[in-house]
Amino acid sequence: MIRLGPYKAPLDRRIKSLKFHHVWKWADYLGKQLATALPQPHVGHAIYITAVPLHRNRRLKRGYNQSELIAKRIAKQRQFKYHTLLKRTKDTLPQSSLPPSKRDANVTGAFSIIHPNLNLENAHVIIIDDVKTSGSTLKQCAKLLRKANALTITAAVIAVASPSDHQPTDDHDADIYQTIHA
């Protein structure tokens, strides 16, 4: 997992400004920063940059998907094409509003591949989200991308709400780490 830092000042304020107050400059700035943190792609493999999708109800209410804005900036910076690969089929509660014990259940079955016959064989997928809390959302997305035969999946986030993302701290984190990095 690639991240810019922990979910604390100044990243938390920048994410909230983008997410809830339409301060567009942060999508551009944070996208550029995250683009430089990504590793060089494998030569000869297709690169897909995508974002964790919002349900249409939340997208209509907010007017945009902040993770998609960041992902599109990364794609532009790295000269890759942005691809919508996933859709959110279940209008879930925000993960940050739930205790960790309820987050897996909240997002289980909440996503699907946008095109049922999508084949990502030999492709490297980079999935972008703004904040990793428990990792349940990224885990669900990674499972679907694996089913579509993605060769590798890299999760990249602006901030991590937990103290550790690279070193699994419990069985749940270890499972997320292995799903994304296997």
In DSSP notation, 98-167 reads S-HHHHHHHHTT-EEESSTT---BTEEEEEEEEEESSSHHHHHHHHHHHHTTBSEEEEEEEEESSS-SSS
The CATH number of the domain where 108 resides is what? 3.40.50.2020
Total-model pTM: 0.87
174: left (phi over 0), alpha (psi -120 to 50) or beta: alpha
Distance, first Cα to last Cα, the chain: 12
pLDDT at 97 over 60: yes
Convert the pLDDT of each residue in 156-180 to its tens digit: 999 999 743 334 444 444 333 333 4
Domain that holds residue 177: 2-37+46-94+103-181
What pLDDT is recorded for position 180? 42
Of 57-71, 103-117, 141-155, 156-170, give the lowest mean pLDDT range. 156-170
Neighbours of 50 (CB within 10 A): 21
pLDDT, residue 173, reads: 41
- What total number of domains does the chain contain? 1
Q: What is the mean pLDDT of residues 134-153?
A: 95
